[in-house]
Amino acid sequence: MKADDVGTVAASLVYLGIVGTLMVGWVFNVMSIWHTIDNPVTAKFILRCIGIFIFPIGGILGYL
C-alpha cells in the first residue's frame, strides 16, 4: 500500500466518524423534540426543529 493510499483511507475514516457522530446526534435531537413537544416553545426548541431539516445543526444540538 502506498503512502497516498494510507492518507486517503485515514481521511475517509475520519470523515465517516464525523458523519456517524452527527447522525447519532441528529437522532438524539429528534428524540429530544419528541419528549418536549408539549412544553412551552423556546429558542432552543425552535433551533431543534430547524435541525431536523439542516443536518449539522440537528447533529450538534442532539448532544446539548
Distance of alpha carbon 1 from alpha carbon 9, whole angstroms: 11
Q: What is the pLDDT of residue 1?
A: 63
Q: What is the pLDDT of residue 37?
A: 87
Identify whether the C-beta of residue 58 lies closer than 8 Å to the C-beta of residue 27: no
* Distance, CA of 27 to chain centre: 8
Is the pLDDT at 4 greater than 80, yes or no?
no
Is the pLDDT at 3 greater than 70, yes or no?
no
Over residues 8-55, the pLDDT tens digits come to 888 999 999 999 999 999 999 999 999 988 889 999 999 999 999 998
pTM above 0.85, yes or no: no
